[in-house]
Structure 1
């Protein structure tokens, strides 16, 4: 009898440990297919962009860059076969709560084929960890990638960060806080988290703004409403950190003004300091235009032209 009880207790302990080590249950409410179903009625011409392999791109999935208590964080790499490439860090959207790095695969493949090493990053979403943990994750991913420059065939002085929707908000904040140690955790890496260019696809720059309508999703990520956590909402806004040290930036926008909150003010600061910035708009498109034809080709062409100008043409 005692042996049976002991065995049951042991099995319970093993089961509990196994459950604790499992990956956090992900919110899968935002997917490419769900976005397609949302917009296909108003945009009957849309087609989902499919992944495409290129002969000059080496692909490696799920490279671990950070160890957490219960799981690891990974990224997918898309490496151009040439050497000393500029690097592009890609951040998926999903309201800080959903989404997946796989959403960035077609874009990463295409950009990589044009002479870049691209990295689609997994980071902690708000169900697992609230702000600023996801920002810490992105900064650490940059450090890891730079620390393995030879493996990934990159030039650590030519790095761009690109994001879509909530990922664009995060990417722009990462770029606007270059060399700001308040946005970094201590790591064992000697490389900086500095980036030299930003690409923002429909991401807000200011959480509290006349054009902004951020609510429940932002509140969950930021740990409270704008009334409860005003200092956090301001701190998490890239506009609050924009100055003479902000890198060049490309904005690509849908017609929805709420995703442009803070853009005019940011451009005013950038222009004041003669920092290159560029705006491209799709006046008749869904919010997630980058996932679909007929907008994908123009989107990636805008991006690679901008990156060629700000990174390749500025090669040291």
Structure 2
């Protein structure tokens, strides 16, 4: 009798999880390691056999402080790595927050350490930050985490010689979407969060969106195709675009452009759906006379900034843009 009751209980639990995968996804889960630099390389090499992982030597002109906790939430320490010039500068250096991609559920901050180090050597304080992924916390946790990281930069401006009037955010893929959303929601109380260095501003003065979508509900968007199971975005929002359209719309930077939106640089691969809404957004930026640039690499794979030959020109486009807007 006991065995039969246990069997039915387990069957009921299995059916519940199968019927409600999104609810199960909100429970503590192992880290998703499906997106790594190596796995991306293997996939990208099928069409681009000559590419290689970009691993330039760390510049001798910079210092680093890894594993700095920028916010603690219920015992969970969120960390970032800092890279900054050895040379002192009275005014302080502009700062750049780097945000990794991975479909809001995979990836890690180490993937953009090479880019952060090289940019630091050009006169910037750069940080690569982790944020809670969808296996740990649903939208908008990643957004509020990263706004807290910006506040940490201002709270620690004296330590790292940061010019708090010149903070940029740089993101790739899901990180690009997050970067654009952070920059277009400066001062938005709904996405600010209530933890960590709340007396400081989370506003950023420039955005670099590297192949990140600008709109989730848009004719160009490939997000939300659940025909083969819940998509990465569906997991992140905790529901489909028809179930939670308000969240899907809120997360699109295209829906937040105003006259106060900071300058933005778009750097894109040849895969159009990865920058859905970009052209509509540039029209809005033009209407408000907001400076923007757009660069694209023909025949490039989505994770192009991780690899040679695209790493160096991505760095150059970034440095030139920041020099222009932070002059």
Whether the TM-score (by the shorter chain) exceeds 0.5 is: yes
Aligned counterpart, 1:252: 267
CA RMSD of aligned residues (A): 1.2
1:78: Cα distance to partner?
0.6
1:100: Cα distance to partner?
0.3
Which of 138, 163, 173 is equivalent to 1:155?
163
**Paired residue total:** 290
- Could you say if the C-alpha distance between residues 285 and 227 of structure 1 is closer, same or farther in structure 2, counting changes exceeding 3 Å? same
Deviates more, 1:24-33 or 1:229-238: 24-33
Q: Summarize the alignment of residues 130-145 of structure 1 with structure 2, pairs less than 5 Å apart.
A: 130-145=138-153
1:24: Cα distance to partner?
6.4
1:235-294: CA deviations, max 9, x gaps? 111111011111000000001110121111110111111110000000111100000000
Q: Aligned equivalents of 1:56 and 1:154: distance in 2?
A: 17
1:176-203: CA deviations, max 9, x gaps? 0011111111244321011000000000
Q: Aligned equivalents of 1:254 and 1:260: distance in 2?
A: 9
Aligned counterpart, 1:164: 172
Aligned counterpart, 1:49: 54
Aligned counterpart, 1:19: none
1:71: Cα distance to partner?
2.4
Aligned counterpart, 2:78: 73
1:185-238: CA deviations, max 9, x gaps? 124432101100000000000001111010210010011110111111001111
- Could you say if the C-alpha distance between residues 197 and 56 of structure 1 is closer, same or farther in structure 2, counting changes exceeding 3 Å? same
Aligned counterpart, 1:203: 212
Aligned counterpart, 1:214: 223
Q: Summarize the alignment of residues 63-142 of structure 1 with structure 2, pairs less than 5 Å apart.
A: 63-81=68-86, 82-83=88-89, 84-142=92-150
Which of 27, 31, 35 is equivalent to 2:36?
31
Which of 271, 278, 288 is equivalent to 1:273?
288
Which of 223, 227, 233 is equivalent to 2:238?
223
- Could you say if the C-alpha distance between residues 158 and 291 of structure 1 is closer, same or farther in structure 2, counting changes exceeding 3 Å? same
1:70: Cα distance to partner?
4.0
Aligned-partner SS, 2:139 = coil
Q: Any stretches of 5+ residues in structure 1 without a counterpart?
A: 1-22
Q: Aligned equivalents of 1:245 and 1:47: distance in 2?
A: 39
1:8-66: CA deviations, max 9, x gaps? xxxxxxxxxxxxxxx96311110000000011121011000115211221111110011
**Does the 8 A contact of 1:51 with 1:105 survive in 2?**
no
Q: Aligned equivalents of 1:156 and 1:134: distance in 2?
A: 22
Aligned-partner SS, 1:226 = coil
Which of 236, 245, 251 is equivalent to 1:236?
251
Q: Aligned equivalents of 2:29 and 2:232: distance in 1?
A: 19
Q: Aligned equivalents of 2:251 and 2:83: distance in 1?
A: 29
Q: Aligned equivalents of 1:278 and 1:99: distance in 2?
A: 27
- Could you say if the C-alpha distance between residues 77 and 40 of structure 1 is closer, same or farther in structure 2, counting changes exceeding 3 Å? same
Q: Aligned equivalents of 1:151 and 1:53: distance in 2?
A: 21
Q: Aligned equivalents of 1:35 and 1:185: distance in 2?
A: 32
